[in-house]
């Protein structure tokens, strides 16, 4: 990834992708954690969870391409080094998690033989699953574990954003908001 440069604000594309994907990620976590989505063809929640999850995958690939070819604003120089490292590690982890989560979900439906449709537009083909049915429990646990890691990191990330805004009173949250720059 490119090193942060003197850019002052996130680009419109970065912001749009950030907030759209954040909204989708929280909906996906809510469906998994609070509404207990289950692999069941007739369940409309399962239809939403799989289709929106695959939308996250597609958007993340666009976002990764954008991120690798554009610079992002640096944190204020007064930010302690450990926080700079923590922020960078969290952002990289988000990119990894938001590709790994939909992929593991897709592997799960593939091994379980559940048909997945992209909003009724087209059928999503099953992925070849290494280990076949023997891997089902492992994939299910991986999907759950990745979801838990995302939940914890997202919680820390939001707290960090609020700390910058309300305690440090710097521009870090504002420059990610629509209309800044």
Q: Which is nearer to ligand HEM, 29 or 131 (CB)?
A: 29
Contact with ligand HEM (CB under 6 A): which of 28, 100, 139, 142?
28
Contacts of ligand HEM in 117-156 (CB under 6 A) = 140, 143-144, 147, 150, 154
Residues sharing a CB contact under 8 Å with residue 112, sequence separation 6 or more, in sequence order:
39, 136
d(CA 148, CA 131) in angstroms, rounded, equals 24
How remote is the C-alpha of 157 from its chain's centroid?
Answer: 12
Query: Does residue 55 interact with ligand HEM by CB under 6 A?
Result: no
Contact with ligand HEM (CB under 6 A): which of 16, 59, 75, 129?
75
Using an 8 Å Cβ cutoff, are 181 and 9 in contact? yes
Nearest alpha carbon to residue 104 among 66, 152, 68, 148: 148
Q: Which is nearer to ligand HEM, 134 or 151 (CB)?
A: 151
Residues sharing a CB contact under 8 Å with residue 39, sequence separation 6 or more, in sequence order:
46, 108, 109, 112, 114
**Which positions lie near ligand HEM, rule CB under 6 A?**
14, 18, 22, 25-26, 28-29, 32-33, 37-39, 49-50, 53-54, 56, 67, 72-73, 75, 87, 91, 94, 98, 101-102, 105-106, 108-109, 116, 140, 143-144, 147, 150, 154, 157-158, 161-162, 172-173, 176
């Amino acid at each position: 990834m490119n090193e942060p440069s003197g850019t002052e604000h996130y680009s419109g594309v970065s912001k749009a992708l950030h907030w759209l994907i954040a909204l989708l990620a929280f909906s996906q976590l809510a469906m998994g954690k609070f509404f207990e989505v289950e692999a069941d063809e007739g369940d409309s929640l399962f239809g939403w969870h799989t289709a929106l999850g695959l939308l996250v995958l597609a958007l993340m690939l666009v976002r990764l391409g954008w991120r690798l070819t554009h610079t992002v604003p640096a944190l204020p120089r007064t930010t302690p080094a450990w926080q700079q490292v923590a922020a960078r590690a969290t952002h990289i982890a988000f990119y990894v998690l938001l590709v790994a989560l939909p992929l593991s979900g897709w592997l799960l439906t593939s091994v379980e033989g559940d048909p997945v449709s992209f909003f009724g537009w087209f059928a999503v083909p099953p992925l070849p699953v290494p280990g076949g049915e023997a891997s089902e429990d492992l994939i299910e646990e991986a999907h759950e574990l990745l979801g838990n890691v995302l939940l914890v990191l997202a919680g820390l990330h939001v707290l960090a954003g609020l700390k910058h805004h309300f305690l440090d009173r710097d521009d870090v949250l504002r420059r990610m908001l629509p209309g800044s720059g």
